[in-house]
Amino acid sequence: MSHPDFSMAPEAVEQAISRLKKLFGERLNVSKAVREQHARGEGLVTSLAPDAVVWPENKAEVCEILKLCDELAVPVIAFGAGSSLEGHVSAPHGGICVDMSRMNALLEVHLEDGDCVVQPGITREELNAQLKGTGFFFPVDPGANATIGGMVSTRASGTTTMRYGSMVHNVMSLEVALADGRLVRLGTRARKSSAGFDLVHLMVGSEGVLGLITEITLRLHPLPVEVAAAACAFPSLAAAVDAVTELSMSGLPFARIEFLDEHQVRACNEYSKLGLTELPTLFLEFHGSETGVKEQAELAQEVATSHGGIEFKWATRPEDRSQLWKARHLAYFAALALKPGCISVVADVCVPMSALAEQVQLAREHIDAEGLVAPILGHVGDGNFHVLFMPMPDQPAEQAAVDRVYAAMVERALAVGGTCTGEHGIGMGKKSKLLAQYGPEVVGLMRAIKTAWDPKGILNPGKIF
C-alpha cells in the first residue's frame, strides 16, 4: 500500500525478518494467526497485519530493532494491550510489530517523592497491584486495562481525570528509543522545570510516530482515607448533564462523574445485572477524609435533587463500589451485546462545560432521527462524551448514517471551541477530523516535527497524518 510519507523496498522486510530472527529466535513470529492478533485494537475496524511480531525484553533490544529497521527503511509499530480505538496498532504498510508486553516491570518506587519508574508494557492494573501496601496508587483509569506505554502514547485520561488529571499531568519523564536506535531521556523527576522545550509532553500523545518509549516516570497519589460512590437517575438527559455542569462549578474535588444515557443503562443492567432504573444516570465517586466525603456527598445529592435526580443509591462498601465501576468499565462490551454481530465505532468529542448539555442533546436527537442504536456515555465532568455506534457490517446505509452523525458531532464540537477527540487520539480513524480542527498549516507543523524525529518515516506510518 503506497503512502506519500513512506515507501518500502519489497525485499527490505524479508531482510529485516531474517536478521531479527538471528537476534530474537523464537521471540520473533511470522505466523498468520499471531500477525492477525496484532493487526488491530478495539473500535476502528481494521485488519492490517504486520509482516512479523517481535517481543523485546529490554531497552537495548528495542534500540537494536529500530537501528536495523531504520537502516532498511522498514516500518515499526509498537503494540501494548491492543485496547486503543482508532487503529493505532494496525500496520497499513506492513513491517515489524514490536510487542512490549515482556517489558512490564516496576523498576523503582520513590515513596518520599511520590513517583515510580516503570517499563512500558506494565498495565495500569498490574502497576496498582504491585503498589499495594505502599499507601500510593496510580489513578489514571481509561477503563481498559491498557499498558502504561500505550496510555502515554495516546494521552489517555478517563474516569478519574477530574480529581487526578490525565496522562499529561502524571508523566514526569520518559526514556525514548528514537527511530535510528539512539536512546534519549526526556524530563526529570523534579516537580517542575523551565529547561528548554517540553519534549516529555510532545511525546505524550504522539501515538508512536516519534519514538518508542522504554521507561516512564509517573507521579503517584496517596490512597484516599475514605471513598464513597453513588448512582443517581434523572428524568431527562438534559437534567443529568445540567447537574454535572453545576457540580463541576461547585469547587468540590469530585473524583469521578460519569454519565450513561438510558440506552447504556439498559445495556449495563442486562450485561452486569445492576438493576438500575433505566433513565439517564450519573455515577459519582468521592475521595477524601471521612468528613470531607460526607460533605461532598451531601452537596452532590442536593444539586442532583434540584435537577430532578431520583433514587440516589450509595455504595460505600468496597465490593459494592467495585460492582458499580466494573459495570462502567464494561459498558463498551455491554453496548455491543445489545446488537450481536455489529461492528463498533466509538465516537469521542470534548467541549467546554458550558456547551456540554446542548451538545449531548443534539447528538441524541440526531442519532434517534437516523434510527440508529447508539448509547451515549462519558466522563462528562470534563466535557468529554462518547457515542457507541453499532452498525451492522452488511448494512451500508447504517454505516453511512453513522458517518453523518459522527461528522456532525465533530463539526458542532469545533464550532463551540471543542476538539474532535478528548482521549482516543487520531490514529487512522480521525486524520480528516484533525485537519478540520487545526487546518493544513498546523498539521504541517506537526508533520515537520515528525520528519525531524523520524526522517525515513518508519515509525507507525499512516497514523495521524
What does the mean pLDDT of the chain come to?
92
> pLDDT band for position 5 (50/70/90)?
low
> Residue 325: CB partners within 8 Å, gap ≥ 6?
159, 229, 283, 285
* pLDDT in the model for residue 6: 67
**One-letter identity of residue 182:** R
Query: Mean pLDDT, to the nearest integer, of 140-159?
Result: 93
- Other C-beta atoms closer than 10 Å to the C-beta of 34 total 16
DSSP 104-134: --EEEEETTTTEEEE-TT-BHHHHHHHHTTT
Q: pTM for the full model?
A: 0.92
Residue recorded with cell 519523564: 173
How far apart (Å, rounded) are the C-alpha atoms in residues 383 and 362?
Answer: 15
CATH number, domain 10-101: 3.30.43.10
291-295 — which CB contacts under 8 Å span 24+ positions? Answer: 292/226, 293/224, 293/226, 293/227, 293/228, 295/252
* pLDDT in the model for residue 400: 97
In Å, how far are 240, 284, 290, 293, 316 from 231, measured between CA atoms?
11, 6, 19, 15, 12
- Other C-beta atoms closer than 10 Å to the C-beta of 256 total 24
Q: Which of 19, 67, 9, 47 is closest to 212 using CA atoms?
A: 67
Per-residue pLDDT of 187-239, as tens digits, reads 999 999 999 999 999 999 999 999 999 999 999 999 999 898 889 999 998 89
Tell me which fold the domain 339-430 belongs to. Answer: Alpha-Beta Plaits (3.30.70)
Task: Name the class of domain 226-333.
Answer: alpha beta
Per-residue pLDDT of 231-286, as tens digits, reads 999 999 889 888 888 887 877 778 888 899 999 999 999 999 888 899 999 999 99
Q: Is the pLDDT score of 144 beyond 90?
A: no
Instruction: For the chain, give every domain's residue range.
Output: 10-101, 106-222, 226-333, 339-430, 431-457
**One-letter identity of residue 188:** T
* pLDDT in the model for residue 45: 61
Report the side by side order of strands in the sheet with 106-110: 106-110, 115-118, 212-219, 171-177, 183-187
DSSP 140-165: ---SS--BHHHHHHTT---TTHHHH-
pLDDT above 70 coverage of the chain, percent:
98
- Other C-beta atoms closer than 10 Å to the C-beta of 261 total 26
Task: Name the class of domain 106-222.
Answer: alpha beta
* pLDDT in the model for residue 50: 96
How far apart (Å, rounded) are the C-alpha atoms in residues 342 and 374?
Answer: 11
Q: Is the pLDDT score of 3 beyond 60?
A: no
Q: Are 247 and 381 in contact (CB under 8 A)?
A: yes
Report the side by side order of strands in the sheet with 76-79: 28-29, 52-54, 96-99, 76-79
Residue recorded with cell 506537526: 446
Which residues are registered as beta bridge partners of 313? 231
Same CATH fold assignment for domains 226-333 and 339-430? yes
Strand, coil or helix: what is 55?
coil
Q: Checking DSSP bridges between strand 106-110 and strand 76-79, what pairing results, if any? A: unpaired
